[in-house]
Structure 1
Amino acid sequence: MSPAVFTAVLVAAAMHAVWNAMVKVQLDRFASITLMSSGMGTMALILSPFVDFPHWGVWPFIFASAAFQQGYKLCLIKAYAAGDLAQVYPLARGSAPLLTTIGAMVLINEYPGSWAVFGIGLLCAGTILMSLRGGGLQKLNREALAYAFSTSFFIACYTLADGNGVRLASSAYSYAVWLFITDGTISFLLAMCLRGPVILPVMARSWKIGLAVGALSAASYGIAMWAMTLAPIGAVAALRESSILFAMIISVVVLREGLGPWRLVAGILIVGGVMALRLA
């Protein structure tokens, strides 16, 4: 992985941790997620005249990704309602690279190198340890655990769809813009079906935070999709989960969720995974 791609994905990871923390602290997370998606779609619509319209072979991947992202967002909201950021975020994000790597091997015959395998393994081990916190599985919130792993499944699905789709598109920018427009439209329609018009004033009250989250999310994932055109999908997905380190810092410094020796060890494992991926 080149230094430019490596650095860009780390920046994207920091952005991702920040917007997840912003959603976590909002009282109505469903409205915040919907507003985020709508904001991404609105900004993408403004940019659409400046990018190519995807050819027909790209659209199945865009629609598949948008569908998987609805499942991801709904499960993420439920997970944050059941558990805290320090538990949910590592499990939801940390197990996804392993699923993505396996999916890439099975579906597109993309096999990671030895350093990438080592790095992905360290990242997954670190994230699981961070969520366990030395207390064992019996101390975990079972509902949060179920939703977190469901979230990771949808993450792997949309990552694989986007990793393949962006490589078929004329550019990463074109794919990202039309994906965000599609996802924003579907998210808004889904919100209207589930909540009805009553969600509109709730979203209106949080429009500033929603647009900020949308901008961070769009930039973060746009960078990741660009990186997947230059590096293996599994390696990019794993490196992106270094956002767990940034989330740990936010959870301790901002949300006051506590820091112990187990989480420090987990952080060291994650750093080791990041370093191994740099060598991949």
Structure 2
Amino acid sequence: GEFKKLNGSSDFFFFLHSAGRLENGVSVDIDKRRIYIDLEENRVYSVNNQYAGNSLGLKKLAFRLAIKKANEEGWLAEHMFIMGVHGPGGRVTYFTGAYPSACGKTSTAMIPGQTVVGDDIAYLKKINGAIRAVNMESGIFGIIHSVNSENDPVIYQALTTLGEIIFSNVLIRKGVPYWEEMKKDIPEKGINFSGEWFEGKKDEQGKEIPCSHKNARYTLKLNELNNIDSKANDPDGVPVKAIFYGGRDSDT
């Protein structure tokens, strides 16, 4: 449908990606890993790479193209969450927040009692004197390490409810995913990023291998969440009243 709307125009982002030659599901020729970004033609070519932030074209690489497009057209493409904060009398105030990766954008957007529009990317435009924001992603691509029912109840419920979810670099035992700090009994063995895993397994440097990678991820649709904002898919976006900026402590 969207391509029909282009009516022959080449003004769209184009991605060509291959994980390359695989061994046990892992890219082998990493010495030939290449990512080329053509800012003039809005094209990206990547090969021999499996890091999701780069190999999932509509994530980091599209963001780089979007930043350039926004700069040329007078709007903003930002690494921000968008959330609705609910006040007295049914009032909803929309905030965006700019934190680096792994600093809590998703957790902030999921504060109990509030609603989420997006947890990672925001397009902001000034329309009729007001800043409006849209989330151009249809889901969440988040770090699963330390997600648990106490600290992240909404996300945890979605991850442990039968649905369309992608897990990466977690421990799999009998088809069930497990990860570090999920505050649930972890099986003593299974399959993870190191292959056959067992409790106490060590790598070549003698360091104990955790059950899941520190950068293990989950991917799910926003509509899998019970706190999705009613205007999450509004093409006119939501009015932004404030922007948070955050980071992490030096020892975090």
What TM-score does the superposition give when structure 2 sets the normalisation length?
A: 0.27
More strand, by proportion: 2
Larger radius of gyration: 2
More helix, by proportion: 1
What TM-score does the superposition give when structure 1 sets the normalisation length?
A: 0.25
